[in-house]
Amino acid sequence: MNTWFTSCVAYRRTPAVQARLDAQAGSIVRAAMTVLSRDGFAGLSMAAVAAEAAVATGTVYKTFSGKAELVTAVFREVVTGEVAAVAAAGSTAGAGKTARERVTAAVETFAGRALKNPKLAYVLLAEPVDAAVDAERLRFRRAFAETFESAIAEGVAIGQLPPQDPRTSATALVGAIGEVLVGPLAEQLESESVVPELVAFALRALGVPQE
Amino acid sequence: MNTWFTSCVAYRRTPAVQARLDAQAGSIVRAAMTVLSRDGFAGLSMAAVAAEAAVATGTVYKTFSGKAELVTAVFREVVTGEVAAVAAAGSTAGAGKTARERVTAAVETFAGRALKNPKLAYVLLAEPVDAAVDAERLRFRRAFAETFESAIAEGVAIGQLPPQDPRTSATALVGAIGEVLVGPLAEQLESESVVPELVAFALRALGVPQE
DNA sequence: GTCTATACGTCGATAGAC
DNA sequence: GTCTATCGACGTATAGAC
């Protein structure tokens, strides 16, 4: 009668098993990213992810309680990477950079990465899906804005940028870039001129001195 | 047994009846706008709309096949009005206006109307709902961008604005304004300074000469 | 309005880990 | 030997086609 209880306590998840489970979770998320980049949310079915990860559908539910959880996990994973890339490009780390150089680098990174992976970018920015994804997008946009905000604040502080509310300018810039990219991304055309136009717009908008 | 069939064929919709049906459709749409402004999409149930319009729920289905159709009808109705207001504000009609005056008027109108009716603006711009509404939003944003585009093109043509792609700038501006408004709208705070900040951002972004 | 098809989530069986 | 992770097929709901 107590056999279940005692033996259950006796069983412990060993480090090896835990590591394997963790690796599996990572593998499933990566598979989902692959599917998302290729087929968008429209193609992101549990079956497709399971197939891509080479596991059974039931196995996916061991790590994610349902599709919603999987979707948000993948979304966050991708966004984290994108934000990090843009933050690095616009970072103050390379000291001695002018505001012009930093803004240019950040915008080019943002837009350039999007245009190199248009399907994924469209998915992140605009593909009509559902309320849960919309809510994630709001967070995503804010995360981007925050990386811009500190850079702008510093530019204003050291007089390289004219007086302005860094939070507003950063938010506006993220909205501007996102909105402009939606068109080209939706139609899969990589219009060459869009990135330079966007950089010029951003430089003017932040009041970066000409040349 | 045939009574239904014969009377159906014999029955013709008179102009008076048609007019009443049209009026009722308009009344239902207006009721839906009221509900939307007050409770957002979350409160936009067929029952709530019917109650607001003082008709039975079944009556709503006479003019709209389902909730999706009602939602898009209302969305389009509201958007048409907003676009017209902004277009009028930034219009070339008042000839002799400088680019600065027109940009300022358009942005102030856009943002001002949004902040006067925050719930409705939040609904139009950002409230997470579903794919159908998201798709409508994309059209909505483009409609706005087109009104800005012609004004910018003219400003560039007559040399009041520096060379730039009017389509890109217009799209970017719509994205910027929308993104900035989402924050204040979501939290129902009417931060005083946001409109002037937004105007300043827009003037810089389009390259309007200082003062 | 009905019908089909697609996809989510579950369940029992099997194989392997402890 | 016991327990658990994995598999894959099935039930069900919903959306889209005719």
Q: What is the pLDDT of residue A10?
A: 47
Residue B68 CA and nucleotide D18 C1' are separated, in Å, by: 21
Residues of A with Cβ-Cβ distance to B126 under 8 angstroms: 134, 138
> With an 8 Å Cβ cutoff, are A164 and B135 in contact?
no
User: CA of A186: which chain B residue's CA is closest?
Assistant: B138
Residues of A with Cβ-Cβ distance to B40 under 8 angstroms: none
Instruction: Report the amino acid identity of residue B149.
Output: E
% residues pLDDT > 90 (chain A): 76
Q: Report the alpha-carbon distance of residue A87 to residue A83 in Å, rounded.
A: 6
What tokens does A95 get?
Answer: 């000291």
Q: What is the mean pLDDT of residues B102-118?
A: 93
Q: What is the pLDDT of residue A91?
A: 81
Residue A17 CA and nucleotide C17 C1' are separated, in Å, by: 9
Handedness of CA B104, B85, B73, B167 (dihedral sign): negative
Q: What is the pLDDT of residue B109?
A: 95
Residue A8 CA and nucleotide D6 C1' are separated, in Å, by: 20
Residues of B with Cβ-Cβ distance to A189 under 8 angstroms: none
User: CA of B167: which chain A residue's CA is closest?
Assistant: A180
pLDDT 10s digits, A53-67: 999 999 999 999 999
First to last CA, chain B: 81
Write out the H or E segment, with its range, that includes residue A173. helix A166-186
Write out the H or E segment, with its range, that includes residue A174. helix A166-186
- Helices (DSSP H) in B91-165: which residue ranges? 99-116, 118-125, 131-157
Q: Which residues contact A204 (CB under 8 A, 6 or more apart)?
A: B162, B204, B205, B206, B207
> With an 8 Å Cβ cutoff, are A197 and B134 in contact?
no
Residues of B with Cβ-Cβ distance to A169 under 8 angstroms: 197, 201
Q: How far is CA B102 from the centre of its chain?
A: 20
Q: Helix (H, G, I), strand (E, B), or coil: what is residue B130? A: strand
Mean predicted lDDT score pLDDT of chain A: 89
Residue B117 CA and nucleotide D13 C1' are separated, in Å, by: 39
Question: Could you tell me if A42 lies within 8 Å of chain B, comparing CB atoms?
Answer: no
Tell me if A129 sits within 8 A of A41, measured CB to CB.
Answer: yes
pLDDT-based confidence at B157, cuts 50/70/90? very high
Tell me if B113 sits within 8 A of B198, measured CB to CB.
Answer: no
What tokens does A21 get?
Answer: 């489970």
> With an 8 Å Cβ cutoff, are B176 and A178 in contact?
no
Interface with B, mutate which of A179, A182, A204, A208 (most B CBs under 10 A): A179
pLDDT-based confidence at A147, cuts 50/70/90? very high
pLDDT-based confidence at A4, cuts 50/70/90? very low
pLDDT 10s digits, A76-119: 999 999 999 999 998 866 667 888 999 999 999 999 999 999 99
Nucleotides of D under 7 A from a protein CB: 2-9
Tell me if A55 sits within 8 A of A70, measured CB to CB.
Answer: no
Question: Could you tell me if A206 lies within 8 Å of chain B, comparing CB atoms?
Answer: yes
pLDDT 10s digits, B174-205: 999 999 999 888 787 767 889 999 999 999 99
> With an 8 Å Cβ cutoff, are A179 and B165 in contact?
no
Between residues B131 and B65, which one has the greater pLDDT? Answer: B131
Chain B, window 93-132: residues with a beta carbon less than 8 angstroms from a chain A beta carbon: 126-132
Q: What is the mean pLDDT of residues A162-179?
A: 97
Residues of B with Cβ-Cβ distance to A130 under 8 angstroms: 128, 130-131
Q: What is the pLDDT of residue A11?
A: 56
3-state helix, strand, coil in chain B (%, to 5): 75, 0, 25
